Chain A
Amino acid sequence: MLGKTAAHIFWIFRYLERCENTARLINASHFISLTQKQNIANHWDSILNVAGNKKPFLSKYGAINKSAVINFTLRDKTNPSSVLSSIENARQNARIVRNNLTKELFETINETYLKLSEIFRRPINEKNLLNTLSIIRTKCQLTRGTLHGTMLRDDTYIFARMGSFIERADNTSRILDMKYYVLLPSAGFVGSTVDNAQWENILRSVSAYRSYNWLNEYEFNPSGICKYLILDERLPRSLIFCNQNIYENLIAISKYYNKNFRSLSRSEKFYEEMLNLTIEKVFEEGLHEFLVRYLKNLFTLATIIETDFRFYR
């Protein structure tokens, strides 16, 4: 397989994962804004912080308001990480390597793109927001299902999976980081309704609200939530789950190519570090500091994968 092809496959699934996670993030904030009357601007503010594009937003829209944030995040083409930009990128990458995808997979991605660009032609308002978000999520999930159900389990598939998990790890750590201050253990806040709402928001952003409660019987506390999102190997959006899957895919590709790559040992070290981690250690280091370091490690790993498999050179 061509190095260039591997790069395009990898990025198709990064972009699709990004679409899905952005939809989830907005969904969570929307839900909270309907039930909570205090500190609402905060939720929308932090959505911009996750993607790191508060500055361009403010220069375009002036002040933060729900509708502007939603439209900027979903359908603004000048925002390179908007859902519309991401799905366009995913589809453009897919078009370039369509001969490496099953017909069904290409068509699913293409139809997702056609459907979303049609929806995004008009502004998104309160009335159609939930429906739109649900379409984004289900369409992205459909592409994942089509990948699982139709693609040969060869290197193409492995690069697709690696793209998904690296993007997911990136997104979950950014979600945690945008709220790190509400997750810091502090006696003063505990039990206040504001915090409960914030925590609920975080859990909902990664579709983990119900499962957390089911496992923890509504025992909200920062350390419990952090532990769940960072270290619980059962949660498909936790950091450690992503680390494990990146590692396993690198084992698979090393077997497939019958060669040990630098990225394999790097991801093994990364995963082991996560296995030995406790939530106490995370708080000791500082949640924000930990997340910054985690994102840096993740970025380095992605760069080594790029080089190992000749994506660009």
Chain B
Amino acid sequence: MDGINLYKLYHFDEMFDDISKPHSCYMDYNEWLSCEEPRNLKKKQIEANEFFRKVGITFSVYGDLEEERIIPFDIIPRIISEKKWLAISKGIEQRVKALNYFLNDIYNQQEIIKAGILPLELIKNNDSFLNEMIGFTPPGGIYTHIVGIDLVRTPNDDFVVLEDNTRTPSGVSYMLENRQTMLQIFPELFDKIKIKNVTNYPLSLLQSLKECCSINKDSKKIIAILTPGPHNSAYFEHAFLADEMGVELIEGNDLKIKDKKVCMRTTQGYKPIDIIYRRVDDQFLDPLTFNPTSILGVPGLMDVYKSGNLILANAPGSGIADDKAIYSYIPDIINFYIGEKPLLKNVKTWRCSEKAHLKYVIDNLESLVIKEVHGSGGYGMLIGPKSTKKKIASFKKKILKNPNKYIAQPTLELSTVPVLTNKGLCSRHIDLRPFVLVSPNGIKITPGGLTRVALKDGSLVVNSSQGGGTKDTWVLEEF
């Protein structure tokens, strides 16, 4: 590969220590890469895109009914050493355990509030907190069976948690298809470098869900994935998982409550379901309990759920754990339930709901990232350093009008990794979303996860809805 001397090092680069020297986890890869013809690599990049098109790995963007897009995929892998991964996964395990303890407590005794650690207001006026769940404990005590933890790597703090996703984290199909694509186009690399396997995720998910079912342990469990439908941006993933797990893919209009069970309309009449992995938001699950206009769910589902005749993954109301207002309390939450210091740090966060914090935020808008407490997908945020004076001024008004709705964080110096462009290798900012499965039998974390990459030079927004791409993530098998 030529052109490496043009490579721009921002803060921390995953591949290069400095321009001439790769980190040790990239040694073998770099050796291979330096022997590759740029022309050949470009061909491989085209091949990869064709593979995505052919397999139909597409997503649609809200408000754009016609177009199906493929997510941009970059062929340079993101590599993590085994040692580093071990440290990360320990931190994730600790955090996810605490998140489940927290959910269990917040919907039951609320000890954490009684102890004065979490202000009651955060729960009280929060749409993510479901009163319907108070006093009900899901089977096995698991609230959030499938979790995605968004990590970023910064020069000072190493890996830090940017966000937890305890509702319906998506992207796992990209993790799996990215690996398939790489295996297809670079088989020789997988001979040369030993990488931890990710392909058994669907099976692990299936087992993990079954383990939550304590009644009639030996009988066959009917499992289904509930999707909002083919127009949902993650429909490919829903169909992909249903296929890989060998379970039905259902929509609200396939379902009906019969004999206190949720049943699906089959070619031979209605058949009961034991476990639903739902990819429909809380508010749309049951029009009788939540949004009365929803056609995505089933009337009466919550009654069945609360009578113990159904396992829902994730449990309704688990979103309170990933609420951005709660986020800043997670270190305290870990300490409270587990009695340990958090292994993975949080990003420093200012809560605009607190006077002193608000003042600091208002005075330093140019250097901060402001997020809406309930926002997601990279929408409704302000990135101070990349914004204009005018936009900052109008955002300031919004914050002052409704300070409880906002939190602020420093602009992070996200690590970079090379991507292949027409000009050769260029550095781009990335994050990492590992996927975690929780069952009464324990926590399983797939090595690696999904690496998302901001494809514009200097950009910090990695969301696929806003021009982000993905990479295959390798955790090395070293010991």
Residues of B within 8 A of A95 (CB): 56, 230, 235, 239
Is A56 among interface residues, defined by CB-CB distance under 8 A? no
- A107, B54: Cβ atoms under 8 Å? yes
Q: How far is the CB of B194 from chain A (nearest CB, A)?
A: 27
Contact size range, B: 20 to 34
Q: Mark A106-119, 1 if CB is under 8 A from B, else 0.
A: 11001100100000
Sorted nearest first, the 10 A-B pairs with minimum C-beta distance are A99-B243, A99-B242, A309-B267, A3-B265, A110-B56, A99-B239, A96-B230, A98-B239, A6-B267, A310-B265
A4 CA to B235 CA, complexed, in Å:
16
Tell whether A107 pairs with B230 under 8 Å between CB atoms, given A2-B250, A2-B267.
Answer: no
A157 CA to B426 CA, complexed, in Å:
49
Residues of A within 8 A of B265 (CB): 2-4, 310, 313
Choose one: A1, A103, A107; the contact of B266 (CB below 8 Å): A1
Q: Select from chain A the residue with minimum beta-carbon distance to B267.
A: A309
Is A259 among interface residues, defined by CB-CB distance under 8 A? yes
A103 CA to B266 CA, complexed, in Å:
23
Q: Secondary structure at chain B's binding surface: helix, strand, loop or mixed?
A: mixed
Residues of B within 8 A of A5 (CB): 248
Is B129 among interface residues, defined by CB-CB distance under 8 A? no
Q: How far is the CB of A163 from chain B (nearest CB, A)?
A: 14
- B267, A98: Cβ atoms under 8 Å? no
Is A79 among interface residues, defined by CB-CB distance under 8 A? no
Q: Mark A148-163, 1 if CB is under 8 A from B, else 0.
A: 0000000100000000
Residues of A within 8 A of B56 (CB): 95, 98, 106-107, 110
Given contact pairs A3-B266, A96-B239, A310-B269, a sample of 7 additional A-B residue pairs in the complex whose CB atoms are under 8 Å apart: A2-B250, A2-B254, A4-B251, A95-B239, A99-B240, A99-B243, A100-B243
Residues of B within 8 A of A196 (CB): none
Residues of A within 8 A of B55 (CB): 103, 107, 110
Residues of B within 8 A of A313 (CB): 265
A209 CA to B249 CA, complexed, in Å:
45
Is B456 among interface residues, defined by CB-CB distance under 8 A? no
Is B341 among interface residues, defined by CB-CB distance under 8 A? no
Tell whether A2 pairs with B266 under 8 Å between CB atoms, given A92-B230, A95-B230, A107-B55.
Answer: yes
Contacts from A to B (Cβ < 8 Å)? 1-6, 92, 95-100, 103, 106-107, 110-111, 114, 155, 257, 259, 309-310, 313
Is B357 among interface residues, defined by CB-CB distance under 8 A? no
Choose one: B54, B235, B266; the contact of A111 (CB below 8 Å): B54
Residues of A within 8 A of B243 (CB): 98-100
- A114, B248: Cβ atoms under 8 Å? no
Q: How far is the CB of B355 from chain A (nearest CB, A)?
A: 52
Is B40 among interface residues, defined by CB-CB distance under 8 A? no
A103 CA to B56 CA, complexed, in Å:
10
A27 CA to B394 CA, complexed, in Å:
64
A155 CA to B254 CA, complexed, in Å:
18
A73 CA to B148 CA, complexed, in Å:
49
Residues of B within 8 A of A107 (CB): 54-56
In the complex, 25 of the A-B residue pairs with CB atoms within 8 angstroms, ordered by the A residue number, are A1-B266, A2-B248, A2-B250, A4-B253, A4-B254, A4-B265, A5-B248, A95-B56, A95-B235, A96-B239, A98-B240, A98-B243, A99-B242, A106-B56, A107-B56, A110-B54, A110-B55, A110-B56, A111-B54, A114-B53, A257-B268, A310-B265, A310-B267, A310-B268, A313-B265
Q: How far is the CB of B39 from chain A (nearest CB, A)?
A: 25
Is B330 among interface residues, defined by CB-CB distance under 8 A? no
Q: How far is the CB of B184 from chain A (nearest CB, A)?
A: 13
Residues of A within 8 A of B249 (CB): 97, 99
Residues of A within 8 A of B242 (CB): 99
Is B212 among interface residues, defined by CB-CB distance under 8 A? no
Residues of B within 8 A of A155 (CB): 267
- B240, A257: Cβ atoms under 8 Å? no
Is B99 among interface residues, defined by CB-CB distance under 8 A? no
- B269, A2: Cβ atoms under 8 Å? no
Is B461 among interface residues, defined by CB-CB distance under 8 A? no
Q: How far is the CB of A77 from chain B (nearest CB, A)?
A: 11
A274 CA to B73 CA, complexed, in Å:
56
Q: Which of B53, B54, B251 has the most chain A CB within a 10 Å cutoff?
A: B54
Q: Which of A3, A92, A97, A106 has the most chain B CB within a 10 Å cutoff?
A: A3
Q: How far is the CB of B71 from chain A (nearest CB, A)?
A: 16
A124 CA to B268 CA, complexed, in Å:
46
Tell whether A114 pairs with B54 under 8 Å between CB atoms, given A2-B254, A99-B240.
Answer: yes
Is B264 among interface residues, defined by CB-CB distance under 8 A? yes
Q: How far is the CB of B53 from chain A (nearest CB, A)?
A: 6
Residues of A within 8 A of B254 (CB): 2-4
Residues of B within 8 A of A98 (CB): 56, 239-240, 243
A98 CA to B57 CA, complexed, in Å:
11
A138 CA to B378 CA, complexed, in Å:
45
Residues of B within 8 A of A309 (CB): 267
A99 CA to B239 CA, complexed, in Å:
6
A309 CA to B266 CA, complexed, in Å:
8
- A1, B54: Cβ atoms under 8 Å? no
A92 CA to B268 CA, complexed, in Å:
25
Residues of A within 8 A of B250 (CB): 2
Q: How far is the CB of A156 from chain B (nearest CB, A)?
A: 10
The residues in B between 43 and 78 inclusive whose CB is less than 8 angstroms from any CB of A are 53-56
Q: Select from chain B the residue with minimum beta-carbon distance to A113.
A: B56
Q: Select from chain B the residue with minimum beta-carbon distance to A93.
A: B230
A246 CA to B408 CA, complexed, in Å:
65
Residues of A within 8 A of B264 (CB): 2
Residues of B within 8 A of A3 (CB): 254, 265-267
Q: Select from chain B the residue with minimum beta-carbon distance to A94.
A: B56
A3 CA to B265 CA, complexed, in Å:
6
Q: Select from chain B the residue with minimum beta-carbon distance to A311.
A: B267
